[in-house]
């Protein structure tokens, strides 16, 4: 299994903090966001390589971080060649770029580079192996306003995904989907197919409704908190929460 961390965005909503620093390398309670994520991947025995896909503006930052990191997995930094928010490939474009560039032919874990979370990725992979299908993650969001800003799924009694809708004005459920996915290696050619058909290359969740029309996808329901760092306010809030945990 390979793990891709999506880190090629420009985080314009966090300016000026991220004008010259990629969001995943911002610090929370004395550690970078990226370190929190990589520590959890490092505990997954199935993963043999962690791939950080970034852009030309911030590639050097991640290479410097990698030189001083000390993890058991091989870590590869991939530069997608873009320089501006306007020319970015989008998350799905970046996934396909990594698959092509590194000739990936393994099961694939995909994680947003700006989300902190309480659950263990070892549990997610265990579930993936048990059900034998592509898997997304989901949790029950009690804040209705937040549900309307998220990707929302309907599930059957066996946690199979029946529908997916991005930012629904009238949500069909309270099951929100953050950007943590596990895809079987047989599914990887569908990324190229998805893009070739002219579909949205940006948010990784856009691939889910395309996929569920073709094959079975299960949802791993996790407990605990998940923190999406998208604005200065959310970043300050997360820092306070994690400082208090210390």
The closest of 202, 210, 3, 185 to 94, measured between CA atoms, is 202
Can you give the pLDDT at residue 167?
A: 86
The closest of 97, 90, 92 to 76, measured between CA atoms, is 97
Residue 6, phi-psi category: left (phi > 0), alpha (psi -120 to 50), beta (remainder): beta
Question: Would you give the DSSP letter of residue 46?
Answer: T
Mean pLDDT of the chain: 94
Number of domains in the chain: 1
Strands 134-140 and 217-221: parallel
Which CATH number covers residue 135?
3.90.550.10
- CA atoms of 176 and 141, how far apart (whole Å): 6
Place of tokens 């896909």: 53
- Above 80 in pLDDT, residue 246? no
Compute how many other C-beta atoms are within 10 angstroms of the C-beta atom of residue 245.
7
- CA atoms of 72 and 188, how far apart (whole Å): 26
The closest of 120, 212, 225 to 161, measured between CA atoms, is 212
Provide the CB-side half-sphere exposure for 43 (13 A, CA).
13
Can you give the pLDDT at residue 84?
A: 86
pLDDT for 155-193, tens place per residue?
999 999 999 988 888 888 999 999 999 999 999 999 999
- CA atoms of 166 and 148, how far apart (whole Å): 8
Collect all residues with Cβ–Cβ distance below 8 Å to 241 and sequence separation of at least 6: 227
Q: Which residues pair with 50 in a beta bridge?
A: 3, 75
Q: Hey, is 190 helix, strand or coil?
A: helix
Compute how many other C-beta atoms are within 10 angstroms of the C-beta atom of residue 143.
11
Collect all residues with Cβ–Cβ distance below 8 Å to 56 and sequence separation of at least 6: 79, 80, 81, 82, 83
Can you give the pLDDT at residue 237?
A: 93
User: What is the rounded average pLDDT of the residues 119-130?
Assistant: 97
User: What is the rounded average pLDDT of the residues 23-31?
Assistant: 96
Q: Hey, is 230 helix, strand or coil?
A: coil
User: What is the rounded average pLDDT of the residues 38-60?
Assistant: 97
Residue 18 and residue 125 in contact, taking contact as beta carbons nearer than 8 Å: no
The band of 61, judged by pLDDT with boundaries at 50, 70 and 90, is very high
Q: Give me the domain span that covers residue 111.
A: 2-245
């Amino acid at each position: 299994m390979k793990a891709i961390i999506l880190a090629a965005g420009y985080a314009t909503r966090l300016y000026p903090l991220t004008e010259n620093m990629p969001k995943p390398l911002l610090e929370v309670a004395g550690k970078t966001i990226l370190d929190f994520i990589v520590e959890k991947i490092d505990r997954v025995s199935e993963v043999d390589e962690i791939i950080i896909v970034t852009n030309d503006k911030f590639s050097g930052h991640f290479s410097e971080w990698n030189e001083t990191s000390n993890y058991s997995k091989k870590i590869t930094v991939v530069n997608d060649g873009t320089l501006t928010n306007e020319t970015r490939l989008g998350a799905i474009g970046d996934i396909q770029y990594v698959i092509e560039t590194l000739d990936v032919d393994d099961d694939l874990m995909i994680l947003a580079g700006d989300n902190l979370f309480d659950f263990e990725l070892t549990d997610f992979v265990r579930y993936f192996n048990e059900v034998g299908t592509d898997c997304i993650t989901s949790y029950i969001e009690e804040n209705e306003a937040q549900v309307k800003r998220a990707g929302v799924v309907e599930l059957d009694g066996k946690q199979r995904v029946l529908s997916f809708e991005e930012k629904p004005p009238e949500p069909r459920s309270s099951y929100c989907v953050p950007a943590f996915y596990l895809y079987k290696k047989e599914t990887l050619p569908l990324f190229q197919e998805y893009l070739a058909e002219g579909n949205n290359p940006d948010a990784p969740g856009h691939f889910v409704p395309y996929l569920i029309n073709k094959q079975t996808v299960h949802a791993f329901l996790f407990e605990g908190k998940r923190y999406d760092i998208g604005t200065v306010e959310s970043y300050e809030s997360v820092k306070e929460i994690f400082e208090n945990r210390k």
